[in-house]
Amino acid sequence: MIKKFTVIGAGTMGHGIAELAAIAGYDVWVNDISDEILLNARNKIAWSLSKLKKQEALERIHFTTNQEEALKDTDFMVEAVIEDIKVKSQVFNKASKLVSETAVLASNTSSIPISEIAKAVDRQERVIGMHFFNPPVLMPLVEIIRGEKTSEETVRIALDVAKNMGKETILINKDIPGFLVTRIMFRVNEVGCWLLDNKMAEVKDIDYTAIQVLQFPMGVFLLQDYVGLDVSYLIQKALIERGFEVYYCKSFEQKYNSKEFGMKSGKGFYTYKGKIIEPTL
Ligand code: NAI
């Protein structure tokens, strides 16, 4: 029986996962490192809930910078902090000391094997991957990843939670870096990035091809602006460090170093002026 539901990290993904959990009826606790980030998350959730005409769900969400308070006796945690094994391990280690006896500890990681994250906790059978997509409220799929020690009971509970959130699931039984979705996405990225890095094609032409010829709903680079280029860069790093042989996108590194993170910073591969999008390269 899940009553208390905790989301650690209230950024692009965390605030959306918290919104989904509140709509599903859970008592939700959201934690991040500053009041400013939490207020921003609250505003985004309130805006989205009003569009969905589900404003009452906001009353079920508590926002706190106190991680202990958010994790204490919780029944289900989803971690959505940055894609860095050190930061994720700290969160899982702290969580394992505070959550309820039977709690499930899920990570929204895009690339880091679940078994690697699970090493930070005592009861590794309770750790699982729950990979939501952006924006969580609208995207229909959740990729569920079984770590080497994840129990059947943990898989069952995670599948139930995703179902309660109205999501479809794919269950990944092999805990490899990038699982299924991220591996496919980075194969697509590598073709676009290689063409761009080597000045073979421009952003707008690669994206035009993806949309008009391949029938993608979004261009390759527009999607990465939407994901966040800080996030894409860290995912690329995590994948390559773990042996996934994918082209190292220099354009991602360049965007990361110049803090052009995409939509969230107003500039990435495109610039964002209100709703007008212009390619920057
Ligand atoms: P983000 O950068 O928007 O949000 C991360 C949040 O975590 C920030 O608000 C940050 O302040 C907070 N944080 C960092 N350390 C913390 C700590 N110790 N305690 C509490 N909060 C902390 O990143 P985003 O995009 O939400 O990504 C989060 C995770 O979700 C990553 O693992 C990423 O790979 C994954 N993901 C991202 C997707 C995307 O489209 N952006 C899609 C699917 C998964």
Residue 177 placed within a domain: no
Q: CATH number of the domain at 269, please.
A: 1.10.1040.50
Report yes or no on 83 lying in a domain.
Answer: yes
Q: Is residue 228 part of a domain?
A: yes
C-alpha of residue 80 to centroid of ligand 1, in Å:
5
Can you give the pLDDT at residue 281? 55
Q: How far apart are CA 127 and CA 88, in angstroms?
A: 12
Cβ contacts of residue 169 below 8 Å, gap of 6+? Answer: 141, 142, 143, 144, 159, 162, 163
The reply to whether ligand 1 has any atom less than 6 angstroms from the CB of 39 is no
Ligand 1 and 189: CB distance under 6 A: no
Tell whether 265 is covered by a domain: yes
Q: Is residue 136 part of a domain?
A: yes
Of 146, 172, 198, the position where a domain reaches its end is: 172
Domain end residue (candidates: 121, 152, 172): 172
Domain boundary among 172, 194, 212: 172
Residue 81 CA to ligand 1 centre (angstroms) = 4
The answer to whether the CB of 104 falls within 8 A of the CB of 132 is no
Q: Does one domain contain both 275 and 164?
A: no
Report whether 222 contacts 205 (CB < 8 A).
Answer: no
Asked if residue 231 has its Cβ within 6 Å of ligand 1, the reply is: yes
Distance 150 CA to ligand 1 centre (A): 23
What is the CATH number for 44? 3.40.50.720
Q: Atom 29 (ligand 1): residue with closest C-alpha? A: 80
Q: Could you tell me the pTM of the whole model?
A: 0.96
- The angle subtended at Cα 180 by Cα 176 and Cα 182, nearest 5°, is 95
Report pLDDT for 273: 84
87 lines ligand 1 (CB under 6 A): yes
Establish if 44 belongs to a structural domain. yes
Q: Are residues 146 and 199 in the same domain?
A: no
Residue type (1 letter), 134: N
Tell me the C-alpha distance between 2 and 164, whole Å: 11
Q: Which residue has a Cα nearest atom 42 of ligand 1?
A: 133
129 and 194, same structural domain?
no
Domain shared by 69 and 139, yes or no: yes
Same domain, 104 and 226: no
Q: Is 203 in the pocket of ligand 1 (CB under 6 A)?
A: no
User: How many angstroms separate the alpha carbon of residue 30 from the centre of ligand 1?
Assistant: 13
Cα separation of 88 and 121, whole Å? Answer: 11
Domain that holds residue 92: 4-172
β-pair partners for 12: none
Total domains in the fold of the chain: 2
Ligand 1 neighbour 13 (Cβ under 6 A):
yes
Taking the centre of ligand 1 as the mean of its atom positions, its distance from the CA of residue 198, in whole angstroms, is 30
Report the separation in Å between the CA atom of 16 and the middle of ligand 1, taken as the mean of its atom positions: 11
Ligand 1 pocket, residue 31 CB under 6 Å: yes
Q: 165 and 27 in one domain? A: yes
Measured between alpha carbons, how far is 179 from 143 in angstroms, rounded to an integer?
Answer: 9
Task: List per-block mean pLDDT (blocks of 10 residues) for the chain, which spans 281 residues.
Answer: 97 98 98 98 97 97 98 98 98 98 98 98 97 97 98 98 98 98 97 98 97 96 97 98 97 98 96 76 55
Give the distance (Å) from ligand 1 centre to CA of residue 33: 11
